[in-house]
Structure 1
Amino acid sequence: MTTKVFIKLQVAATRLITKYGQAGSIRRIAPPDPVTGGNGTPTDYPCRLFPATYDRRYVDGTNILASDKQLYIGSIGIGVSPKVGDLVIGADGTEYHIVHDDPNNYDGQVNVVFICQGRTAT
């Protein structure tokens, strides 16, 4: 059962990301046709995101690198839920591979905000 609290949190998170974040997109590549082969088809989904640097105490050089970013992605108005393997493109053209995703779905129905670990695509 969806509660008003989680919807209010979702709206508040989206408002903050819209105010302080940037326009971006989530690029998901569909797998190629199993019969004809070829390359996968990329599809871009517009989103609002806020990239933040990890606190130094969490950077261990293995799971979290110094160049990794926490990507706060608003959950209202995007066509897909970001997942591992997707590419997130920021307003400045920086591309991040999602290596860990957390939908912050506390009640099982409402995605409050997506917090993803993004690794710079090189």
Structure 2
Amino acid sequence: MVNPLYARLQATANRLIKAYGQAGVVTRITPPDPVLGGEPVSTPHPATLVPMAYEARYVDGTNIRSGDMQIYISSVGLASEPTVGDVVTANGTDYAIVNGDPNKYDGVTAVVFTVQGRIA
């Protein structure tokens, strides 16, 4: 059951990301069939997002590298949940998702997707 508090938080996050963010694309790359082969299939999904550089104190060179971006993606209207292996296009740059948090506090409603993007 959807908690109304998280629905309001989702709406607030969406409003802020629309106001201060930008249009971007989350691309899901499906690998070829292991038996039949073929080419990987890329499926782009339009998204509204806010890319932010990590503060220097968080960059440790292992988990978070220089150039990594913390990307907040609005969950409202997004066709699929961003996951590791997807590619996010923001600021004209492609970032491979290496880590993510769906922020589903009640287990159902994704308030906002927070992902770590690394230049692809």
Structure 2 distance, partners of 1:7, 1:72, is 17
Question: Deviations 1:74-115 (Å, cap 9, x if unpaired)?
Answer: 00001000000000011x321000000100000000000000
Query: Which letter does structure 1 place at the counterpart of 2:21?
Result: G
Question: Deviations 1:35-85 (Å, cap 9, x if unpaired)?
Answer: 321111111000001001111111101110120010000000010000000
SS at match of 1:44: strand
Structure 2 distance, partners of 1:68, 1:78, is 23
Structure 2 distance, partners of 1:34, 1:64, is 32
Match of 2:35?
35
- The question of 1:118 aligning with 2:117 is answered yes
Structure 2 distance, partners of 1:81, 1:69, is 18
Match of 1:84?
84
Query: Which letter does structure 1 place at the counterpart of 2:72?
Result: Y
Structure 2 distance, partners of 1:50, 1:86, is 17
SS at match of 1:14: helix
Structure 2 distance, partners of 1:32, 1:54, is 34
Q: Which runs of 5+ in 1 are unaligned?
A: none
SS at match of 1:104: coil
- The question of 1:95 aligning with 2:97 is answered no
Q: Which runs of 5+ in 2 are unaligned?
A: none
SS at match of 1:84: coil
- How big is the shift at 1:7? 0.3
- Residues 1-122 of structure 1 aligned to structure 2 (within 5 Å): 1-90=1-90, 92-121=91-120
- How big is the shift at 1:31? 2.2
- How big is the shift at 1:34? 3.4
Give the count of matched residue pairs: 120
| Percentage of matched positions with identical amino acids | 52
- How big is the shift at 1:120? 1.0
Structure 1 stretches of 4+ with a deviation exceeding 2 A read 33-36
